[in-house]
Structure 1
Amino acid sequence: MASDQEFVSFVTDQLEAAGDVFAKKMFGEYGVYLDGVFFGLICDNRFFVKPTEGGRAFIGKPAEAPPYPGAKNSFLIEDKLEDRDWLCELVKITVKELPPPKRKK
């Protein structure tokens, strides 16, 4: 089941205070970016964040699951989707640990 635009808009709206957040359609689902850095996925109306040490420390005991069959586990964010401040902080912590986007030639 593909994610619906309403859920994608909800997640990106929750993250608007973190910076320039957008979702890009990829293979029927969505990649989520902050300031050009790919940090998460929306698959089957579920929100996943790339696992980082800082994110793990911030969450405590994160739920982990693969966003799609054959993928590595990511942090599955379910209970805190309504908490904008918590969600924005998690995403900022995560993006700090990820490599910057590659410049296109």
Structure 2
Amino acid sequence: MSSSQDFVDYVVEQIGDAGCITSRKMFGEYAIYCDKKVVALICDDQLFVKQTEAGKAFIDDVKQAPAYPGAKMSFLIEDNIDDREWISELIKLTANELPEPKPKKRK
């Protein structure tokens, strides 16, 4: 099952206060970017945020799951997606801790 565009649009709107938020469809699912860094995935209409120490400290009850079979563990965000302030802060903390993306090599 792939994710709906409506769910992706809702998540992007909710986390809009975290920075420059974009989404990109990949393999039938979506990557969520904050300031050009991949901070989360949306798979099967579920939000999976990359694990960081700051994110772990921010989340009270951490639930971890892989976004897809064989993926690294991520923070599965279920109940707090509707709390715009909370989810934006989590995404901002996550983006701040992740390294800058590597520049693409020219062909």
TM-score scaled by length of structure 2: 0.94
Who is 2:51 aligned against?
A: 51
**Distance in 1 (alpha carbons) for counterparts of 2:100 and 2:82:** 28
Who is 1:26 aligned against?
A: 26
Pairwise CA distance, 1:61: 2.4
| Identical amino acids, percent of aligned pairs | 54
Tell me, what secondary structure is at the counterpart of 1:10? Answer: helix
Tell me, what secondary structure is at the counterpart of 2:33? Answer: strand
**Distance in 1 (alpha carbons) for counterparts of 2:15 and 2:88:** 5
Q: Deviations over 1:8-60 (max 9, x none)?
A: 00000001111110110111100000010111000000001000111000002
Task: Could you tell me which runs of 5 or more consecutive residues in structure 2 were left unpaired when the two chains were aligned.
Answer: none
Who is 1:13 aligned against?
A: 13
Task: Could you tell me which runs of 5 or more consecutive residues in structure 1 were left unpaired when the two chains were aligned.
Answer: none
Structure 1 residue ranges (4+ consecutive) displaced by more than 6 angstroms after TM superposition? none
How many aligned residue pairs are there? Answer: 105
Pairwise CA distance, 1:77: 0.4
Who is 1:82 aligned against?
A: 82
Tell me, what secondary structure is at the counterpart of 2:88? Answer: helix
Root mean square deviation, CA, Å: 0.9
**Distance in 1 (alpha carbons) for counterparts of 2:42 and 2:21:** 13
**Distance in 1 (alpha carbons) for counterparts of 2:3 and 2:55:** 24
**Distance in 1 (alpha carbons) for counterparts of 2:44 and 2:72:** 16
Who is 1:38 aligned against?
A: 38
Pairwise CA distance, 1:103: 2.1
Who is 2:100 aligned against?
A: 100
